[in-house]
Chain A
């Protein structure tokens, strides 16, 4: 296993443990949840294989599901994010393209690009999650409220962590 592999392996478990032991208890006004573990998939190196992204998404979603008693729910949303991620990266390619081995974080591409990159994917994740959980569109507007509240909570934490934890520009 390479050095990069080991780092990602550790961060996989770190995200999962922080999510299920700490962030699970943090809910704002009954609607704002924090699903920080999505950031694990979003912050993997840009050239990561989409198949690997989907399987890793499934794995971390599955672990979270066991603790949330919602088997399959988080896994489903994470697989979707893993699939969409590389397409979205392709759409928002900056002028001159990505450098080899670049990481998609604030340090290498700037805050504005980072927000454009993460926000829609996290929105898709949260919306899928709440719609599938409510099993239909009966609670659509309440789910939308939950999605937006959770989106702002999760985004705030992800961006703050980008500045608090020292980031690398490339692998």
Chain B
């Protein structure tokens, strides 16, 4: 008779089992304090890892959502910008500018300092920038949405290109304005101190260009300083037509101010803080013509950082203005 292998196998397999002693021994190992301590520590470490991962997943998810929202917002914003209208019209007209100047020029006495035509022009320029910005925002809000536009893959590039066009248009607007009239004298000046920098405008009413070596210092104080005359950055960019002069270093390293015939320029002199804190300082601006006699201008500094001219110089300036009225005074806008 054929033996059923399965029955034999089942019977044999059931003999494979732990004896009572083995069971007790294994249970003792499993139930020992050492095992419990060892594995409880493992469990603790594992749980700590799980909690850490849960935190990472949680905050990582939040960060991913925020990043996604930011990216979508940025793309939508860029998509709106690329549909905006170009602004080409000047924000400040010549008449507006003349009005500004007339406001200051029509006063009984010209307060030399902040309320000067040069300062007024700066204010007008800032106002123009704000107007441009406002017009840009209005245009963005009212711009039609062009759904057929295909350049959405480079919104950032388009955004920067657009900004450059707007800046270029603003520069072109300034170019179209008439140059500011300047007081008619050989070396007229308006000056003011802003943020520790003395700004002074010099004009050349002669028929020939002038070249000077320029330096400045405080002569009445023992701790006098010597400062380089530099061209302010905004004069190079925004007002380069108005200020037709230039500063170049000669072979010896000295700055040479070049002002063409009937031109003018603004110079900027950084005044050290320790000098500005002292009262009754006498700031001297020395101009050494390449050929000719030295010209010196003395300006007193008061404690509140305003530059106030001496009475004589003030009078000279007023007389010069009265001798040849500026165009804005002729226009009668004041």
Please indicate whether A and B come from the same complex rather than being unrelated chains.
Answer: no
